[in-house]
Structure 1
């Protein structure tokens, strides 16, 4: 796999676009350039000391545009040639490319008012849903309670009827015994 096809393969996996322009994260760029992530961060810190500015994402991590990748690639190549130190390579590349570097546009801020409107709509819909759910749960609870009360009343009535029937049977048994006692005594 050639270097360019490797770069395309990596970018297919983990690239993102903002405003139609590709951006990369630190892991992807380090793989593209064949350097460790810590080495890439070291290069970037040195570039920032020479007034090179990187854009950052919403959580404060650097994002790399294709132009940033090309500049870092040039620095790596110049440094690996062995003729210059890292600091000298950064200074040389940044001074020669300073006019091209300033063309990089900052990441546009999202329209928070639209996001807030969407959130408010969602919040209102969620509150309505929650209210309907609460009403439904209250109806269900009332139904359960009334069903239990009705069942308890029927059960108590059945127990009372059963006890009354047993009393009547016991009284009938007592009468039968009394009738037999009468005949035995005579």
Structure 2
């Protein structure tokens, strides 16, 4: 690798960045072929970095992975797609199944969210009705207490008036008795 042009040093340490021309010479494939391999690898979730112009840039780990794919393809009867699937572990069908499963899970989550939203709205409506009932009960309770207090005050006033009248009547009876006691009959004078 020492006779290959290095694009630049990275800020992450001693790892060097290589361009497509350099990597194609290292792995022994044409530049166009290398780019096609990289696109196929990306379909299998291998992540390549790109520069600000959108061109692939390669680190040592990327070159080693591409070498593994090319060596497997060249040493067996596998196609490049099969070699990539073998190295990276997922086939496009597995990826499609995985994506379909995730889509189904997302759909299920969306259904749950919709159900939760409906439940939340029903709960809010229930809470609103319950609050209205509590307010109505509180008002009824308050009204009944006020009515009870009015009746109690009326009964107390009536009781006090009755006692006052009894006291007056008792006093009048006592006064009459006292006058009669003081008043002597004519025959009682000679006794």
After TM superposition, the score normalised by the length of structure 1 is: 0.45
**Looking at CA atoms only, which structure, 1 or 2, has the larger radius of gyration?**
2
